[in-house]
Amino acid sequence: MSKTIAMSGKGGVGKTTVSALLMRYFTNNLNSPLLAIDADPNSNLGETLGLDIEKTVGDIREDFMRDPQGVPSGMDKIIYLEMLMNQVLIEQKNFDLLVMGRQEGQGCYCMVNNILNRFADELEKNYKYLLVDNEAGMEHLSRRTSGKVDMLLMITDYALRGLRAVGRINEMLGDLKLDVKNKGLIVNRAPETLSRTFLDEVEKIGVPIVCIIPDDKNLLEFDMERKSMLELPNDSPAVIAIDNMMKEKIEV
């Protein structure tokens, strides 16, 4: 069964950045099939990897709902939708990427959602690792059939507001019916020493810190120049932090 690593945390704290850094680690160090899922409706994981995203799973769903009769004659609608899903899967040398895209509008989406979710469930079986870049609410994760997350990375910036959001996500986990095996806290854009107040708050939440990422000016430069984060240099501070976490703190 595949191993799932998923991101959580409030808006803008670095979920996509950590996802891209993890993909850099995986593609450089582990030669195993990897599927990245961009589950944020405001998708931008592909961009950080230097990829152009033309169509998303959400686009397929909306197109189909707008014109349910658009299925080519003689073709079963399940086969048709699966064919379209295969077209949105972005296949790269070291990983594949599935972009979920916009959320559903109004209307009854059950049938089309069931087909798309079943396709995603089947697709996931082909990979050893799944990496899910979430929106803050984690709806995508709770929709998956298996509901299993091997490592939930909870990301905060160096601010109590980000940390409290992590606390709330942690409390919400029970309601989501997710089977979360391990949880780890990542403090992003952190100074060299974390304050006592911050650490006390971390202790209250009860999720262990697995990684501290300093501010990394290369990230800004790569973002501005639209360079793929997979090409970040080995000595970039954020790369070092994530690579160390993967080697020392996380069992994959």
Summarize as ranges the residues that interact with Mg ion (CB under 5 A). Answer: 15-16
Least Å distance, CB 187 to ligand ATP, is 10
- Binding partner of residue 12 among ligand ATP, Mg ion, none, CB under 5 to 8 Å per kind? ligand ATP
* 201 to 240: interface string for ligand ATP, x by CB under 6 A: ------------x-xx--xx--x--------------x--
Report whether 138 contacts 8 (CB < 8 A). Answer: yes
- Binding partner of residue 238 among ligand ATP, Mg ion, none, CB under 5 to 8 Å per kind? ligand ATP
Residue 101, interface with ligand ATP (CB under 6 A)? Answer: no
Least Å distance, CB 215 to ligand ATP, is 4
By CB under 6 A, what part of segment 6-25 binds ligand ATP? Answer: 9, 11-17
Report whether 107 contacts 67 (CB < 8 A). Answer: no
Least Å distance, CB 201 to ligand ATP, is 19
Q: Which is nearer to Mg ion, 112 or 238 (CB)?
A: 238
Beta strands across the sheet bearing 179-190: 90-91, 96-99, 34-38, 129-133, 3-8, 148-157, 179-190, 209-214
Pairing, β 3-8 against β 129-133: parallel
Q: Which is nearer to Mg ion, 56 or 81 (CB)?
A: 56
For residue 125, which of 33, 56, 6, 30 has the smallest C-alpha distance? 33
**Distance, CA of 82 to CA of 197 (rounded, Å):** 51
Residue 28: how many CB atoms within 10 A of its CB? 13
By CB under 6 A, what part of segment 135-194 binds ligand ATP? Answer: 188-189
**Distance, CA of 59 to CA of 180 (rounded, Å):** 30
Which residues of this chain interact with ligand ATP, rule CB under 6 A?
A: 9, 11-17, 40, 188-189, 213, 215-216, 219-220, 223, 238
